[in-house]
Amino acid sequence: ALEAWLRPHLERGVPTLGICYGHQMLAFMFGGTVDYMYPDQRKHLGSRTLDMIASGPWPAAKGALMVSHNEAVTRVPPDMRVIAASDAVAIDGLSHKRLPIWTLQPHPEATLAFLRQHQLPQDVHAHELSFGHGLAEEFLEYIWYQHDIDTLREDVARASFVAGDDFVIVEYDRGVEIS
């Protein structure tokens, strides 16, 4: 049902950022594969350094992001390319070759509250989250930079939300975020 709801938005070119489960789901929807990272299915928790190539909203960059997952994309979909990798995960980020879709396995939106909720190390300082927050801001600027504040307020007022136990989708007139 979620894929059926999302696919028409993607196909009409709504800018989309899939985070964590969103990364995995979008890869699967476009023909990739997802599997457990470890045979014992344990979670990969903590942070890892991501190497990113320039793509859409982001310049080439390297920085630490928080992670909390036990599955990963194991095969790149035919219509997507790898834009981020780490020592732990070869496919840590994807972009679609013709649609405005980007994905990241790690959590650029992570906050100190996120760390507590996901039982991640609490000794992280706010500045250590700044690389991820910068990625999130760059995505938003990329899709909204040309619009004035009144247009943004109208978009937020018309936003629709879909939520489950492990994901949230926010749809705006100019973008969809899945986390």
Q: Which residues are catalytic?
A: 20, 107, 109
70 and 41 Cβ atoms separated by less than 8 Å: yes
Residues 6+ apart with CB under 8 A from 150: none
- The C-alpha atoms of residue 173 and residue 159 are separated, in whole angstroms, by 7
Supply 9's token pair. Answer: 């938005």
Encode 16-42: b = buried (16+ Cβ within 10 Å), e = exposed: bbbbbbbbbbbbebbebebeebeeeee
- The C-alpha atoms of residue 46 and residue 55 are separated, in whole angstroms, by 25
Helix, strand and coil in the chain, % to nearest 5: 30, 35, 35
- The C-alpha atoms of residue 34 and residue 47 are separated, in whole angstroms, by 20
